[in-house]
Amino acid sequence: MFRHAPTSSRRPSRLRQRGFTLVEVIVVLFMLVVVATLAGPQFRAFIIQQNIRNAAYELMSDLTFARSEAVKRNTSVTVSKVGTWTAGWTVAVGGTTLRQHAAFPSSITITMANPSVDFYLNGRASATASFTIDDTGALASIPAQCVSVDPAGRPRSVAGSCP
């Protein structure tokens, strides 16, 4: 037969406590505040730079689309601004709108001297065009983007303002 030890000799079982102490929570919150303070300005600059690049990509995409439609349809295709370039643009053949781009947020500015860019049936542009895309509230360290269309009708995007 088995004997059990008397109950008085058994250790009382401790309840295991779960969770964090107040000191641990305060230390973690302090570390999060320090990291957010250091990373915040860089993250803002990253967002602004991505907005500028996104606007340049969308403009390049529609310019490439207009060029390919001119060759495909064997007719001239026009990319023209709606009010200002920042307010959007349309890609049209004659009176038919193929694409329309909505306005950008008010912080993005797109400037170009001409009100439109025409692509002929061979894909060539009517004239060279240069769009400068910038952010009005941008930091000086964030470069603008330049989207240019060469006489052959090929758009390209580079960092920096257009010449």
pTM of the model: 0.74
User: 90-108: per-residue pLDDT in tens?
Assistant: 999 988 999 999 988 878 8
Instruction: Please state, in angstroms and as integers, the Cα–Cα distance from residue 82 to each residue in 32, 68, 107, 114, 126, following that order.
Output: 45, 21, 17, 12, 19
Give the bridge partners for 157, in sequence order: 147
pLDDT computed for residue 5 by the predictor:
57
In angstroms, the CA 126 to CA 143 distance is: 28
In angstroms, the CA 150 to CA 117 distance is: 11
Chain CA centroid to CA 126, Å: 30
Q: Which amino acid is at 141?
A: S
Give the bridge partners for 156, in sequence order: 148
* Average model confidence (pLDDT) across the chain: 86
Which class does domain 21-159 fall in? Answer: alpha beta
When pLDDT is averaged across residues 133-147 and rounded to a whole number, the result is 81
In angstroms, the CA 38 to CA 42 distance is: 8
Show me where the domains of the chain are located. 21-159
User: 20-66: per-residue pLDDT in tens?
Assistant: 888 989 999 999 988 878 877 777 888 888 989 999 999 999 999 99
- By the 8 A CB rule, do 88 and 137 touch? no
